[in-house]
Structure 1
C-alpha cells in the first residue's frame, strides 16, 4: 500500500485525547494543522471513464473495513518461519488469536484513538479485530466526507451504477491507518463463471477408455488418499456469501448419493453483517462444500464463513472473522478473486488502460482491488496461528479478470485476458494458491491422463517478493517489476482437478439435481485441496497440526528424496492440441511450474513425510 504525507492547514476543530495520544479531529479538509496520510490506492483509477451523475446524498450509508498497520511485521514473519522450521525450538508452537494480539497487536492507545476518531465524527465502529488492526466502520457519506477529506459522487458505466469517493482518503498520521475498503460500491470479488460447468461428455480419445466425471471415491484413488486418515478430529471451512440453506440441503443430497456421513455444518457471519438473500453463488458454494467434505468424509465439522456480499470490504471481514475465531478450522478454502493490487509506482500503471484491444475497460479494474494490504495482514496472522487458507488461482489463464462486468459478464470467465497480472487473494504470500488440471480416469477410477488446464490461473505476481519458503524453488524465476534484482512470488503452489469446460469435472448435486462432472474450474481445485489437507492434518502427531501448509509443501516438494512420493508431476501435453500444456504465457514443466505448482498430491506420501506415518 502506497501512502504519502500531507500537511493540513488552519485551526483545529477539536482534540481527542486517548491514553496519551493527541489526535486532531478534522471535520473538513481545512482542518487542524498536522500531518496526515493519503492512502493513494483507495480511489478508483478510471473515474474519468464513467458518467458523473451528481453528488451522492449525504445520508447514504456505507460500511468500511479500515486497516491499521501492526507494529512489527518483520517480527511476525520471523515467528512464522521459526514455527514452521523443524530445526527450531519454536516448531509448531503456533499462537491463538489472543496470544497473537498480545505479541503483535496494535497498541491499546492507538486502538482507542482510531475508534475515538471515527465515533467523534458520527460514525459507528461495530467491530474491532482481536489484534486491533481491522475495524468495521459504519457511517454516512456526509460523515465520511468530513472524516476522510473526500467527496462522494454517483457514476454510471454502461448499465452499472455505483458511487465512489472522488479523491484518496486522508487520515491523521498518528492513527496509523494504511488501508480503507468500501469507499465505492463497484469493486468486488467474483466467482469464476467456470463454476457453472457443463454436464459430462465423452470428449477424450477412445484409446484412453476415459470417464467424464469423477466421484469422491475416484479422487480418493487418483490422489492416493488413505482409508486410515479421512479427516477425523478436524474441521474445514468454506468462505462464501449470501444464502446457505440451499447449499446445506444440496450437501445432504450429495452425501446420500455417494454414501457419505452427514457432516455437521455451522454457519458463521461477520459481526454486524445483515441481509443474506443473494443466491447467485449457490453452484459455487455447492462445489466448495461437496468437494472439501467429499475428500474428508469423516471431518468433524464444516464451518461456512458467509458474508452478505463479495465487496472488497466484506470479503476482508470474512477473512478476519475466520482468523479471529478461536474455534475456527485449521484449513479453509476461498474460491473467488479479482486482479491483484498494482502499485501506483509500477510501470504497468498507465499501460493497463491503453493496452491493445482493451481500450474500453471498465472503471476501477485497471489497478485491481484495494484490499490486498488488508488481506496480507489478515492471512499473515492466520499463518502465525497455524492455519491454511487455500485459494483458487482463477480461470483466466496467465492474466487476471481485468475485462470485467459489464464487458463480458461475470468478470472471471474462461478466457485469457491479456494483462499478465495474477488473481488475488491467490497472489498473497500467506495463502496456498491452487491451480487446475484436466484429469481423465478409466472405468476403474485410475488416472489415465492429467495435464495443466489451459485457463488455470497462475504466473508471477510481479510485485510481491517470493516468500522465504519459496526461495530456491527451481522454475520460479521471474523478477519483480518494481525491483528486478528480486524474484517475485510465483503461483500456483499446488494443483488439483479443475476440468476443461467440456464437463470432465467433479460430480455434484445442485438444486437437488445430480450432475456427473458438473463441478469444475480452479474453484473446484481449491476446496479439493482443503479437504485433502484436512486428511493430512487428521494424521498429524500433535493437535497443533502441520501449520500453514506452504512451508511443509515446499520443503518436501523441493526435496529429490520426497517429491516423487508426495506429488504427481503434471507436465504432459494438452490432449486437445498435443502441445505442452500452458495457460498462455507459462508452460507446464517438470517439477514446480507457474500453472500447476508442484502438481497434484499423493496424500499418503504427504502423510508419510509430514507426519511420519509411513
Structure 2
C-alpha cells in the first residue's frame, strides 16, 4: 500500500536512540524500507471454536490502542528495584501520576506527531495515556484496513458474542517505527477468564457471610473499633458487568445497611457493557469486598474482554481515587503475547511506582495455568497471567476450617476433589525474582524466576462466599456459594483497605505497594503470627510446606495482627 501521503516526523529524523536526562533521540529509518510489520496482539490463525462471519463492515467504528515505545525502560526497572531497597536513594520515593511518562517515556512533541499522523489517516484520538505508554484511537474499519494494511474479519462466539480480528500482522509507516511498538485491540477475541468457581456438587446454601469472615480472620476487632473501610476507595477490574439490584439484594441478605453505592466506570468512556457469563465473577468481587470493608467506596472499572488490562489500569491510575486494586481475571502466561503483555506491564509498574497495591488471583487450575476448563486437558505447567508480574501481589487459595465459635482453626491449600481445579502457583517464564522476594522456601539462587503466589485466602468453593446475583436467563437474584482465587484476591484487597485505614488513623504512611512489605514482615516472626502458615494440600503439583510455598505463598492473614505490624513497621522506618 502507498505511504506517499505520510509526512516525515521531524522529531524522528535524527540519528541515535538514547534516554539520558529526559532527552530522547530516535534513529531515522533506512531509505530502502517502505514500512514494517509491527506486533499485533494475537496469532494470525483463526481462533478455534469460533464461527467466521465475514469481513468487518467498512463503516464499523473500530477502537484500538497504539502502544508507544518506552525509551527509559531500563532506567524504570532500576527505579522500581530501588523503591524497596533501603540502601537506594529512591527508597519509598513514590511517583505521582504522569511522573513515569515524563521521566521514562517519549517526549511530548514526538507523541504529538504520532497523533497527527494517525489523524491524517482518519484515526481519531480517543485517549492519551498520561504515562505516555499508549494512545487509544478510533476509526472506520476501512480506515484501519488501509492504514495498517490488514483486513478485519468478524467472528461469533456462543459465550462472549461477536468480535473481530485482523487477517495478518499490521504494517505501519517507517516514519512512526521508532515511536510505536505495535498495536493492540485490533483482535478483540475474548481471552481472559474469570477465576471463580462454584461447588462441583450440591451443597447447602450457606457460604461465608461478613460475620463469618470477620471471626475467622480476626477482622472483628477492627470492625468493633470502627475500622470498616470508611473514607477508602478500592478499584475492581472487570470484563463483565453487574446489576445494582443484585448488590442491594446481597446487602439485604446479609444485613448490611447504609453502604456506599458501587460506582461503574467504563473504559473507554463510551464502552457499553453487556452482562455475560462473567457477571457472577463481578458480583463475587463486590460481595467479598463488602463483607470485609463494608463502608469502602467500590469503583468497578469495566471494559471489553479483548482489550487487556492496560487501558483499565491506566484509567484507575489517572483517576487517582484508589490505592488498592483487585483483579480476578487471567489467562495462561505461556499464551500471552509479548506486545499486550508489555502494555499491561508498564501500567502495573506505574501502579507499583505510585505505591498502589494491586492484588491478583493466582489461578484456579493449580500449576497448570493453561488448562482453561475442567476437562480441556492442557497440562502445560505455567502460572496464570498476570499473577506472576512482580509489581502485583499474587493471591492463592485455601480451604478453611473454623472452631464452633467461628474463630480460625486451620487451613489447607485448595485442591479440587477431581484434581483438576485448585490454587494456582509456580514459577514464571517471563519475570525474574525481585530482590525483595526472600523467605524460607523461596528459590533465591542467581537467575531464579518470580515465584507465586505471595499470599493466600479463602477460595475453595465447597466453603466459599455467599454471593447474590442474577444469572443470565434468570428473572431475579439467587443465593450462590462461590469461590476460587478470585474470592481470595478481593478478600486480601479489602483487608488491606482496613490496614490502610488503621495506618491513616495512626498517622503513619504512606502504605505504599504492600508486596515487598509482606516479605519484610514475614522475616520477623511475631506472637501472635501475622500469617497462618499453611502446610497441608498443594497446587496439584507442588505441596504446601512450612514457610513460603507455591500453593499458598506466605499464608493467609490474621488481619488485626497484620494491621498492627504494618503500623509498627511504618512508624519505625
TM above 0.5:
yes
Is 1:325 the counterpart of 2:319 in the alignment? Answer: yes
How far the C-alpha of 1:201 sits from its partner, in A, is: 4.2
Q: Please state if 1:440 is matched with 2:409.
A: no
The match for 1:491 among 423, 431, 452 is 452
What pairs up with 1:338-487 in 2 under 5 angstroms? 338-340=331-333, 342=334, 371-402=340-371, 411=372, 417-454=378-415, 455-470=422-437, 472-477=438-443, 486-487=447-448
SS of the equivalent of 2:228 reads coil
Alpha-carbon distance in 2 for matches of 1:83, 1:196: 42
Q: In the superposition, relative to structure 1, how do residues 18 and 178 fare at CA in structure 2: closer, same or farther (>3 Å)?
A: closer
**Mapping of 1:269-280 within 5 angstroms?**
269-280=266-277
Give yes or no for contact 2:266–2:272 (8 Å, CA) kept in 1: no
Choose which of 462, 465, 471 in structure 2 pairs with 1:506.
465
Is 1:188–2:191 an aligned residue pair?
yes
Separation of aligned partners in 1, 2:519 and 2:344: 22
| Residue 23 (structure 2) aligns with | none
Q: Secondary structure at the match of 2:193?
A: coil
Measured after TM superposition, the shift of residue 491 of structure 1 is: 1.3
TM-score of the pair, normalised by structure 2: 0.83
Would the alpha carbon gap of residues 318 and 419 (structure 1) be closer, same or farther in structure 2, given more than 3 Å must change?
same
In structure 2, the CA distance between the partners of 1:562 and 1:14, relative to structure 1 (3 Å rule), is: farther
| Residues 49, 563 of structure 1: alpha-carbon distance in 2 compared, 3 angstrom cutoff | farther
The 5-angstrom pairing of residues 134-149 of structure 1 reads 134-149=134-149
Count of matched residue pairs: 533
2:250 and 2:214 map into 1 onto residues whose CA distance is 16
Provide the C-alpha distance between the structure 2 equivalents of 1:195 and 1:264, rounded to a whole number of angstroms: 26
What is residue 529 of structure 2 aligned with on the other side?
Answer: 565
Question: Per the alignment, in what secondary structure is the counterpart of residue 311 of structure 2?
Answer: helix
2:69/2:133 contact within 8 Å kept: yes
**Within 2, Cα distance between the matches of 1:606 and 1:96?**
27
Q: CA deviation at 1:318?
A: 1.4
Unpaired runs of 5+ in structure 1? 1-9, 24-30, 203-211, 343-365, 403-410, 480-484, 573-580
2:554 is matched with which residue: 568, 590, 598?
598
Runs of 5+ in structure 2 lacking a partner? 15-29, 416-421, 471-475
What's the counterpart of residue 168 of structure 1?
169
Write the distance in 2 (CA, Å) between the matches of 1:384 and 1:563: 32
CA distance in 2 between partners of 1:74 and 1:563 (Å): 41
Rounded to whole Å, the distance in 2 between the matches of 1:596 and 1:416 is 24
State the distance in 2 between where 1:187 and 1:250 align: 25
Change in 2 beyond 3 A, CA 1:266/1:76? same
Structure 2: distance between partners of 1:258 and 1:55: 50
CA deviation vs aligned residue, 1:393-439 (integer Å, no higher than 9, x gap): 1211111245xxxxxxxx45587741112211212221111111111
Cα distance, 1:552 vs structure 2: 0.7
Residue in 1 aligned with 2:130? Answer: 130
RMSD: 3.3
Provide the rounded CA distance (Å) in 1 between the counterparts of 2:101 and 2:508: 21
**Would the aligned equivalents of 1:114 and 1:175 in 2 still touch at CA under 8 Å?**
no
Check whether the contact 1:400–1:422 (CA below 8 A) recurs between aligned residues: yes
1:554 aligns with 2:554: no
Deviation track 1:583-602 (CA, whole Å, cap 9, x = no partner) reads 22222111111111111012
Report the equivalent of 1:69.
69
Tell me by how many angstroms 1:538 deviates: 1.0
Relative to structure 2, which stretch is displaced further, 448-457 or 268-277? 268-277
Q: Kindly tell me: are residues 531 and 199 of structure 1, through their superposed partners in 2, closer, same or farther at Cα, counting changes over 3 Å?
A: farther
**Partner Cα separation in structure 1 for residue 500 and residue 87 of structure 2:** 20
Q: Check whether the contact 1:84–1:91 (CA below 8 A) recurs between aligned residues.
A: yes
Change beyond 3 A, Cα 1:157–1:334 = closer
Deviates more, 1:280-289 or 1:378-387: 280-289
2:306 is the alignment partner of 1:311: yes
The 1:220/1:564 distance shift into structure 2, 3 A limit, reads same
CA gap 1:47/1:486 in 2 versus in 1, 3 angstroms = farther
CA distance in 2, matches of 1:434, 1:230: 22
SS at match of 1:396: coil
Structure 2 counterpart of 1:232: 230
1:509-537 Cα deviation digits (max 9, x unpaired):
22475637x12111111100110011111
**1:44 CA displacement:** 1.4
Query: Does the alignment pair 1:222 with 2:216?
Result: yes
Contact 1:76 1:384 in 2 (8 A): no
- The CA distance in 1 between the partners of 2:3 and 2:208, in whole Å, is 66
Structure 1 distance, partners of 2:269, 2:10, is 27
Quote the offset at 1:132 in angstroms: 1.9
Name the residue aligned to 1:290. Answer: 287
Give secondary structure in 2 for the equivalent of 1:376. Answer: helix
Is the alpha carbon distance of 1:543 and 1:15 closer, same or farther for their aligned partners in structure 2, counting shifts above 3 Å?
Answer: farther
- Write out per-residue CA displacement over residues 230-264 of structure 1, whole angstroms, 9 at most, x where no aligned residue: 323321111114444x2x33333333333434124
Corresponding position of 1:5: none
State the 1:58 CA deviation.
4.0
Partners of 2:67 and 2:385 in 1: how far apart? 18
Post-superposition offset of 1:40: 4.2
Query: Quick one: distance in 2 between partners of 1:338 and 1:373?
Result: 15
Q: Paired residue for 1:519?
A: 482
Asked if 1:178 corresponds to 2:181, the answer is: yes
CA offset at residue 388 of structure 1? 1.2
